[in-house]
Every structure is written in C-alpha cells, then in structure tokens.
C-alpha cells in the first residue's frame, strides 16, 4: 500500500552520511516534490530481506523506500551498494516535521488535484444512476475511457447526463486539466491503473467482471468520481462529473440494517418513506436522519415519531425556527 508522503509519518534515518526519510511502503513517484529524490532499497537472491542496494525502482526484494532532499547516487548509476544504513532510535516524523528539523523549506505538492479513495457508502454513486438522482446530484456527464487491447492507448468519449447549460467552457477547461493530471498516474495506461488501484485502496462493490475501484477529486466547482476497472472486457474507467452548485439540498437520509441507504431531496418523498417504514423499524433496522433546517419538515418528522408511540408532539412550530433548536429527531 502506497503512503501519502504529505500526511503519513516516515522514519528519519542516516544513509551515506545524510539525513533521509525511510518507509517500508512504496511511494508513488508522481507525488515526489520537485528537487527531492526517491529510491528503493532492496535485497539480493542470497539475502532478500536485507537492504543491501539502493536503486531507482526495485522490481524484486523490495525492503523499503527512501525520500531524500538530495541525490544519493548518480542518475547514470543503476544501483549503489548500501554499507552504512543507520536506524537511530527516533520517533517517526511527517515530511513537514523533518523539513523543520533539517531547516529545509517545505516542498510543494506537485499534484493540483488529489484523489481520495471512495468510502463503501459512496459505491453506488460511481455507477449509472436514475435521471432524478443525477439531477439531484448536479450531474453534468461522464467520460468513458479505454486503454485498448494493448493497454497503452487512450480512447475516450463524452456521455451527457445533465442540462447542457452546466457544460460550460469553464467546466470543460477544468475537466481537461483534471484528466491531463490523472493521465500522469492512474490513467496513464492499464498497467499504471493496476498499480495505482493496488496501492491506494478504494475498492467498491458493483463490478460485473472484476473488482472495481473508486476515487474522488473535489474542486471549488465540481466533484469528479473516477471508477476504475483494471481488467479487459469493459471500459477501463468512467469519470463522472457533478456540479456542486447545481446539487439539490439533501432533506434527509434513511438506512436499513442491510446497509442500504438513500438520500432524499424531495420533502414529500422523504416524509412518505418515514410514514411507511417507521412502524416496522424494530424488525427492518430502519434508521433516519433529518438534515434540513426547514422547521415545517422537522416538525412533521417529530409529529410522526410521537404519533408512533400514541403521543402528541408538545412542541409548536415556533420552537423549530431560528432559535438553534434542532428538530427532526433521528432513530
């Protein structure tokens, strides 16, 4: 599993008389800041578990990864023999802490757009959605991507999923910038996608022929949801594009014991679902959460809950106003 060198801790060590950072995990080279160097440590056939060589990329016997603010070997040298690797009894440090200790400027992350792995609850958002769900989420469309039979091409096509007025020049410029950056890592080719998915988690349910992976990029304007299918037989990736400003407010959310959940933007549908499901919540595991600040909706939800137990809601509508008192009790 790859680490995030800008967030995760690494171990400060001494190598070739210089202070560097060490991790047993691999580091994605496209995330290494400008001016810094990243190397793999590896063993040999006879001693596969010992760090005996420093190389740009270890294909076998990988024993760790080193991040250094200065070169540790000549660029023309394939590998360098390790004879003085020293692990002091030191606490792990973040990159920022290491730079502060070494009086180094903190390097800039070369990534403009940072992918995060999807959560299991988001899995359904990476597949085809009904039109009303697309509308609620501010869907603009998605890009279908295929690397071809050899895995190294980049075929793509656009599929609209929302109002054409959302497909502005500003959006298209940003989409092009996002895709260009992703083509340096996860969308470079099929083998790069496989390495990225293996090293960055993001497993989501729903794939037909193989394990699919989901990642999210968020900008000021849009949400981009990338679904990766690192196998032949289907499009290799779908990049869904959603306009955050066009998203409808979520009124409430319901979940069941099975893990199935649903968000509602239509108040009447939300209230109707609560009215139908509340009587059976002890056996279905039905739970709800009211997210809107609308006092009438919050009171209507509480009215139903009190009525379920044969009581009358003692709170008037005025109590659900701007006093900061939240209604819509959740189960």
Of 73, 101, 129, the position where a domain reaches its end is 101
Q: Could you give the 3-state DSSP secondary structure of residue 18?
A: strand
Whether 96 and 181 share a structural domain: no
Q: Is residue 273 part of a domain?
A: yes
Of 204, 226, 246, the position where a domain reaches its end is 246
Q: Could you give the 3-state DSSP secondary structure of residue 187?
A: coil
Which residues sit opposite 65 in a β-bridge? 23, 40
Domain total in the chain: 3
| CB 220 within 8 Å of CB 259 | no
Whether 139 and 234 share a structural domain: yes
User: Distance (Å, rounded) from C-alpha 146 to C-alpha 152?
Assistant: 9
Contacts of 258 (CB under 8 A, 6+ apart): 285
Whether 140 and 194 share a structural domain: yes
Q: Mean pLDDT score of the chain, rounded to an integer?
A: 92
pLDDT of res. 47 = 96
CA atoms within 13 A on the CB side of 214: 20
Q: Could you give the 3-state DSSP secondary structure of residue 97?
A: helix
Q: Is residue 122 part of a domain?
A: yes
Whether 230 and 260 share a structural domain: no
State the DSSP code for 237: E
**Phi, psi dihedrals of residue 58, rounded to the nearest 5°:** -90, 120
Read off the pLDDT of residues 215-267 as tens digits, 9 standing for 90 and up: 999 999 999 999 999 998 889 999 999 999 888 788 899 998 888 888 888 89
| β-strands 139-146, 155-160 pairing | antiparallel
Q: Is residue 223 part of a domain?
A: yes
| Band of residue 330 on the pLDDT scale cut at 50, 70, 90 | low
Q: Which two tokens stand for residue 232?
A: 């032949």
Above pLDDT 90, what percent of the chain? 78
Whether 274 and 226 share a structural domain: no
Whether 233 and 162 share a structural domain: yes
pLDDT of res. 325 = 41
CA–centroid distance for 310 within its chain: 45
Least confident of 101-105, 168-172, 194-198, 203-207: 203-207
CA–centroid distance for 43 within its chain: 33
Q: Is residue 290 part of a domain?
A: yes
Q: Residues 84-107: what's their mean pLDDT?
A: 94
Q: Residues 67-91: what's their mean pLDDT?
A: 93
Whether 220 and 281 share a structural domain: no
**Domain span at 301:** 252-320
pTM of the predicted model, to two decimals? 0.74
Q: Is residue 2 part of a domain?
A: no
Q: Is residue 158 part of a domain?
A: yes
Whether 239 and 273 share a structural domain: no
Q: Is residue 276 part of a domain?
A: yes
Q: Residues 75-81: what's their mean pLDDT?
A: 95
Using CB atoms within 10 A of its CB, is residue 167 exposed (0-12), middle (13-18) or buried (19+)? middle
| CB 126 within 8 Å of CB 118 | yes
User: Distance (Å, rounded) from C-alpha 152 to C-alpha 112?
Assistant: 24
């Amino acid at each position: 599993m790859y680490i995030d060198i800008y967030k995760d801790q690494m171990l400060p060590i001494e190598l070739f008389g210089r202070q560097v950072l060490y991790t047993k995990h691999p580091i994605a080279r496209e995330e290494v800041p400008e001016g810094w160097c990243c190397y793999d440590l590896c063993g040999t056939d006879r001693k596969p578990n010992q760090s005996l060589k420093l190389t740009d990329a270890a294909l076998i016997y990988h024993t760790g990864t080193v991040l250094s603010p200065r070169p540790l070997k000549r660029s023309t040298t394939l590998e360098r023999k390790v004879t003085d690797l020293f692990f002091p009894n030191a606490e792990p440090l973040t990159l920022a802490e290491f730079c502060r200790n070494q009086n180094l400027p903190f390097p800039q992350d070369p990534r403009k757009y940072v992918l995060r792995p999807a959560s299991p609850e988001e899995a359904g958002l990476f597949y085809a959605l009904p039109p009303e769900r697309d509308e609620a989420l501010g869907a603009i469309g998605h890009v279908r991507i295929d690397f071809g039979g050899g895995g190294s091409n980049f075929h793509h096509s656009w599929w609209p999923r929302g109002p054409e007025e959302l497909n502005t020049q500003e959006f298209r410029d940003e989409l092009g910038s996002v895709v260009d950056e992703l083509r340096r890592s996860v969308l470079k080719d099929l083998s790069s996608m496989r390495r990225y998915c293996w090293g960055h988690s993001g497993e989501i349910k729903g794939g037909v022929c193989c394990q699919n992976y989901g990642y999210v990029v968020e900008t000021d304007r849009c949400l981009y949801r990338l679904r990766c299918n690192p196998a032949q037989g289907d499009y290799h990736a779908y990049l869904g594009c959603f306009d955050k400003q066009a998203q409808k407010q979520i009124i409430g959310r319901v979940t069941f014991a099975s893990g199935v959940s649903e968000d509602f933007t239509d108040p009447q549908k939300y209230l109707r679902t609560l009215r139908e499901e509340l009587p059976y919540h002890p056996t279905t595991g039905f739970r709800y959460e009211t997210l809107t600040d609308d006092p009438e909706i919050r009171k209507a939800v509480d009215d139903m809950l009190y009525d379920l137990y044969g009581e009358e809601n003692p709170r008037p509508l005025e109590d659900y106003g701007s006093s900061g008192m939240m209604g819509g009790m959740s189960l």
